[in-house]
Amino acid sequence: MSAVLTPTDAWRAAWPGAAAGVLVMDKVANPPSHPELDRRKAALETALRERYGHMTRAELLALHSLQAYADYYRRFKKVYHVQLQLESVALKGKAVPRVAALVEAMFMAELESQLLTAGHDGATLDLPIRVDVAGEGESYVLLNGRPQPLTAGDMVMRDGAGVISSVLHGPDGRSRIRPETTRAVFAVYAPPGIGAELVAAHLRAIAGNVVVVAPAANITSLEVY
């Protein structure tokens, strides 16, 4: 089987020590909600509050994973949004947002590991996916249907039809996960300092959540670079 994810020379040169990974699962389902996933989500909220609720924001930012992303985002004068979401749940006591089940499965793993992930409908993709670096003057269309200029130097992923996500601006609208999605692709960006092992563990955690929703789902590819 051909590789689903391939790194470009430009990405390797621009971000030495970075990692990227992809998980492809077939026979998935994407209902609006799922009772067992809801139970797991409530348990995750409790666990995050027990683990991090006593911390100050500065102590939270000292976590290895958040520190790596903070260093990346700081180069572009931005704040890592998963950090803000973790603060919302663990420090402010807010619930994990309710979205469709496949997106929740991904988001739950994101909160637990703090690794940035984008979800895609595999049927819409022109594989392979290339992890690359954004150039000057490039743009793509976001989930909300609006065009978004890319930030030069940012890590991006592209399929044969164009950019499907970027670190700073998120996933595109063309390949978004839909209610009818039966093949899901989850792609992870990891800046220097995270490493391949954490990326692989994170992808396996997503797969574990997906199987709760769709017991017949199976992994057809799990790759990390």
Per residue in 173-217, pLDDT (tens digit) is 999 999 999 999 999 999 999 999 999 999 999 999 999 999 999
Ranges of residues in the chain with a pLDDT under 70 are 1
Helix locations, 53-146, DSSP H: 57-61, 64-75, 81-86, 101-113
pTM of the model: 0.96
Report helix, strand and coil shares of the chain as percent, to nearest 5.
Answer: 40, 25, 35
Question: At 75, is the secondary structure helix, strand, or coil?
Answer: helix
In whole angstroms, give the CA distance from residue 218 to residue 139: 34
Q: What is the pLDDT of residue 37?
A: 95
Q: What are the residue ranges spanned by the domains of the chain?
A: 5-33+100-224
In whole angstroms, give the CA distance from residue 205 to residue 214: 14
- Identify whether the C-beta of residue 199 lies closer than 8 Å to the C-beta of residue 22: no
Percentage with pLDDT > 70 across the chain: 100
Question: What CATH fold (topology level) applies to the domain 5-33+100-224?
Answer: Phenylalanyl-tRNA Synthetase; Chain B, domain 3 (3.50.40)
- Identify whether the C-beta of residue 194 lies closer than 8 Å to the C-beta of residue 113: no
Q: What is the pLDDT of residue 1?
A: 61
**Beta strands 162-166; 155-159: pairing state:** antiparallel
Q: What is the pLDDT of residue 2?
A: 81
In whole angstroms, give the CA distance from residue 184 to residue 205: 14
Percentage with pLDDT > 90 across the chain: 95
